[in-house]
Chains A and B, each alone.
Chain A
Amino acid sequence: MTSATVGVRRGRLQGSPLARRRRRVFGPFLAPALILYTVLFMVPTVYSFYASFTSWDGFSNPRWKGTLNYDHLRHDPAFKDAFFNTMKLLFGCGIFLFVLSFAFMLMLREMKGRKFIQGFIFLPHIVSGVALAAFWDFLLNHDGMLNKGLHSFGMGPVDWLKPQWQFNAILLAIVWINTGYYVTILMAGVDRIPPYYYEEAKLAGTNSWQRFRHITLPMSWDVVGTAAVLWTIGTVKIFEFILAFSGSQGNLPTTNQWTSAMYVYGETIGGTSPIYDFGRACAGAVVTLVAVVVVVVVLRRVTSRDRLEL
């Protein structure tokens, strides 16, 4: 994942004594993290992958059933909802989030008190999803703050959380929570662009749009790519906020609010009367993960190709 330039510089050192010495510590330095990660993360993952080809309730022994779980997923309305919602998060939320973050980042660079502002918009990221969900509900529900506010202007009330809109409320919250984080990452890429590029471009008589199009965008493309990969992979895991926000009293959210992680939880141990279908849940996770890997590969292709155009 490191950029190619580093690789070139390193290549020069490949045969040097330093490189050889470094290779000697390669094993010992890597081993603790690698072993722990393998035993407690990858082994369970592979086991779950195996479970996706079985019928497994989680406590008795799995029974092999081939690709039947995958076949059944196609007819499973909850999986369709979960998959579609995950894609909505990935693309809908993602595009909105990145446009907003990019715009904020560019404007912030020209504003006074930029560090201060950046500090504030990062804030939601440090709070637990459970706490944010409690606040978000208090803000948007029918007797909530927003409607109270509208009322004092003689408007409303609006049913912000009606079933058709509820998932959008979740999407909005997720944009809100993540904007600060991605502004910070994107800021990184743009801050590294040497200022003289802009100076020269200005001398050449370019306008600000041209400078954006031909300097800022291509030169920060790499970091946009990294951030997009982080986001794509991360969407599969969004869980706590949705459970806390849309679930109530030990009950799961209705299936039209489900995302990939929620599907796995709801199909197995979640809710007041669990379903214990680990086989199908694992199959669902595998399908989603494959879709995400495809998106990641495409993203990396796109971002690296555009970089070459420079």
Chain B
Amino acid sequence: MSTATTGSRAESAERDPKTPAAAPAGRRRVPWARLPGAALIWVFVAFCAFTFLFILLSSLKSSYNVLNHPFRLPTELKFSNWSKAWHDGGFGPAFVNSVVVVVVAAAGTVLLASPAAYVLGRNQNRVSGGVSMYFVLGLGIPMQIIVLPLYSIMAKMHLIDNLAGLIVLYIVVNLPFTVYLLMSFFASLPGELEEAAALDGVGPGMTFWRIMLPLARGGLMTALTLVAIACWNETFLALMFLQTNDNFTLPLALVNFLTQQQFTGEDFGVMFAGVSIAVLPMLALYAWLGRRITEGLTLGAGK
């Protein structure tokens, strides 16, 4: 029997690197037959790491060196690139706006989505099935198609050109995905605790707030982080709904900064400094909460 296993490994090596033998129990050393696959992964990882290192390092180089010696480490550290980008791009106020929008929108989305996801995930009937589908439908509708009618509605509610309006929009556009993600989460929680609470006479609202919500903490953190990332990078709605420069968010500032760079003779060092300003906060957030994302997605998508 053991010979068969050995034979198969050689066989699978011939097939191609992706042919797997997933055995989570017996994790062993990478057999050399799988080296091509492992090498591919490491190349991929290296490329991702390189992207960020490159952007960050280039932001400290002169334009000439970025262009002509892209792979060299910076010889001098031009921190002036950063201050120039910061001033020319108007990143200061945009940064504050983005933080406000992202924090409130992410919290708001989760706050609205979790009770809905809870009742949808834990009630299995025709209505909840239909409503779930109704939310999922929203995943496939591009913003460009609804922006004009949406604008008319938002204008009637006086939500144009202010951060409150943008926050409302971000909550709305992130609802479908968040409800979808959290629904599976709540569905996967054990029912016993809920039953026990009901027997103890705890009201359904309290049961949700005190028992189910803390249990779904992992999912909530995942949702929070993913929504925060999506909002931080969102450009189109911000472009259409923010009109006063003082209200601009970071992605708008970045787009404007990049075009401005093109029209006034590009300095690549300064350009990458601008890109870094937009990217770094998300890198920090990811370093802090990144594991949550991967764990949470893992749980949420499993259902």
Indicate if the CB atoms of A265 and B144 lie closer than 8 Å. Answer: yes
Set of chain A residues within 8 Å of B18, measured between Cβ atoms: 99, 102-103, 106-107
Set of chain A residues within 8 Å of B85, measured between Cβ atoms: none
Indicate if the CB atoms of A207 and B236 lie closer than 8 Å. Answer: no
Chain A binder among B75-83, B88-96, B177-185: B177-185
Indicate if the CB atoms of A148 and B70 lie closer than 8 Å. Answer: yes
Set of chain B residues within 8 Å of A29, measured between Cβ atoms: 115-116, 118-119, 208
Indicate if the CB atoms of A249 and B263 lie closer than 8 Å. Answer: yes
Indicate if the CB atoms of B294 and A184 lie closer than 8 Å. Answer: yes
Q: Decide: A41 near B172, CB < 8 A? Known: A33-B112, A264-B145.
A: yes
Cross-chain contact of A199 among B25, B195, B236 (Cβ < 8 A)? B25
Set of chain B residues within 8 Å of A23, measured between Cβ atoms: 123
Indicate if the CB atoms of A33 and B113 lie closer than 8 Å. Answer: yes
Q: What does the 1/0 interface line of B213-237 toward A look like (CB < 8 Å)?
A: 0000000000000000100110110
Q: What does the 1/0 interface line of A268-310 toward B look like (CB < 8 Å)?
A: 1100000000100110010001001100000000000000000
Indicate if the CB atoms of A209 and B15 lie closer than 8 Å. Answer: yes
Set of chain A residues within 8 Å of B233, measured between Cβ atoms: 126-130
Decide if A42 is an interface residue (CB 8 Å cutoff): yes
Set of chain B residues within 8 Å of A261, measured between Cβ atoms: 142-144
Indicate if the CB atoms of B15 and A26 lie closer than 8 Å. Answer: no
The B163-191 residues at the A interface (CB cut-off 8 A) are 168-169, 171-173, 175-176, 179-180, 183-184, 187-188, 191
CB distance from A12 to the nearest CB of B (A): 9
Decide if B74 is an interface residue (CB 8 Å cutoff): no
Most chain A beta-carbon neighbours within 10 Å: one of B15, B205, B301 = B301
Q: Decide: A33 near B179, CB < 8 A? Known: A107-B17, A208-B12.
A: yes
Decide if B101 is an interface residue (CB 8 Å cutoff): no
Indicate if the CB atoms of A189 and B187 lie closer than 8 Å. Answer: no
Set of chain B residues within 8 Å of A10, measured between Cβ atoms: 122-124, 191
Set of chain A residues within 8 Å of B271, measured between Cβ atoms: 134
Q: Decide: A122 near B144, CB < 8 A? Known: A29-B119, A205-B4, A240-B236.
A: no
Q: Decide: A121 near B44, CB < 8 A? Known: A45-B141, A240-B236.
A: yes
Indicate if the CB atoms of A111 and B41 lie closer than 8 Å. Answer: yes
Indicate if the CB atoms of A37 and B294 lie closer than 8 Å. Answer: no
Set of chain B residues within 8 Å of A15, measured between Cβ atoms: none
Indicate if the CB atoms of A135 and B142 lie closer than 8 Å. Answer: no
Cross-chain contact of B22 among A138, A216, A244 (Cβ < 8 A)? A216
CA distance A261 to B147 in the complex (A): 12
Set of chain A residues within 8 Å of B131, measured between Cβ atoms: 30, 34
Cross-chain contact of B141 among A25, A41, A123 (Cβ < 8 A)? A41
Chain B binder among A70-78, A156-164, A226-234: A226-234
CB distance from B34 to the nearest CB of A (A): 7
Q: What does the 1/0 interface line of A178-197 toward B look like (CB < 8 Å)?
A: 01110011011111110100
Decide if B198 is an interface residue (CB 8 Å cutoff): yes
B interface bracket (residues with beta carbon within 8 Å of A): 35 or more
Indicate if the CB atoms of B11 and A207 lie closer than 8 Å. Answer: yes
Decide if A155 is an interface residue (CB 8 Å cutoff): no
Set of chain A residues within 8 Å of B279, measured between Cβ atoms: 127-128, 131
Decide if B148 is an interface residue (CB 8 Å cutoff): yes
CA distance A115 to B293 in the complex (A): 11
Indicate if the CB atoms of A126 and B298 lie closer than 8 Å. Answer: no
Q: Decide: A17 near B1, CB < 8 A? Known: A25-B208, A41-B173, A131-B279.
A: no
Decide if B107 is an interface residue (CB 8 Å cutoff): no
CB distance from B238 to the nearest CB of A (A): 11
CA distance A227 to B266 in the complex (A): 41
Indicate if the CB atoms of A212 and B142 lie closer than 8 Å. Answer: no
Cross-chain contact of B119 among A22, A51, A236 (Cβ < 8 A)? A22
Indicate if the CB atoms of B5 and A207 lie closer than 8 Å. Answer: yes
Decide if A58 is an interface residue (CB 8 Å cutoff): yes
Set of chain A residues within 8 Å of B71, measured between Cβ atoms: 145, 148-149
Set of chain B residues within 8 Å of A149, measured between Cβ atoms: 71
Q: What does the 1/0 interface line of B117-143 toward A look like (CB < 8 Å)?
A: 011111111011001111110111111
Give me 20 A-to-B residue pairs in the complex whose CB atoms sit less than 8 angstroms apart, sorted by A's number: A1-B133, A1-B180, A2-B183, A2-B187, A6-B188, A44-B149, A48-B149, A51-B149, A103-B17, A119-B286, A119-B294, A121-B48, A123-B48, A149-B71, A191-B24, A195-B23, A195-B24, A237-B143, A285-B144, A289-B140
Given contacts A40-B153, A135-B54, A236-B141, 15 further A-B pairs with CB under 8 A are A2-B121, A6-B303, A25-B119, A40-B150, A41-B138, A102-B18, A123-B51, A127-B233, A130-B235, A130-B254, A191-B298, A198-B23, A250-B259, A278-B148, A281-B144
Chain A residues with a Cβ under 8 A of chain B: 1-3, 6-7, 9-11, 13-14, 16-19, 21-26, 29-30, 32-34, 36-37, 39-45, 47-48, 51, 58, 99, 102-104, 106-111, 115, 117-131, 134-135, 138, 143, 145, 148-149, 176, 179-181, 184-185, 187-193, 195, 198-199, 202, 205, 207-212, 215-216, 223, 226-227, 230, 233-234, 236-237, 239-240, 244, 248-250, 260-261, 264-265, 268-269, 278, 281-282, 285, 289, 292-293
| 10 tightest Cβ-Cβ pairs between the two chains A and B | A208-B21, A207-B8, A103-B18, A106-B20, A128-B233, A44-B146, A44-B149, A29-B115, A33-B116, A233-B140
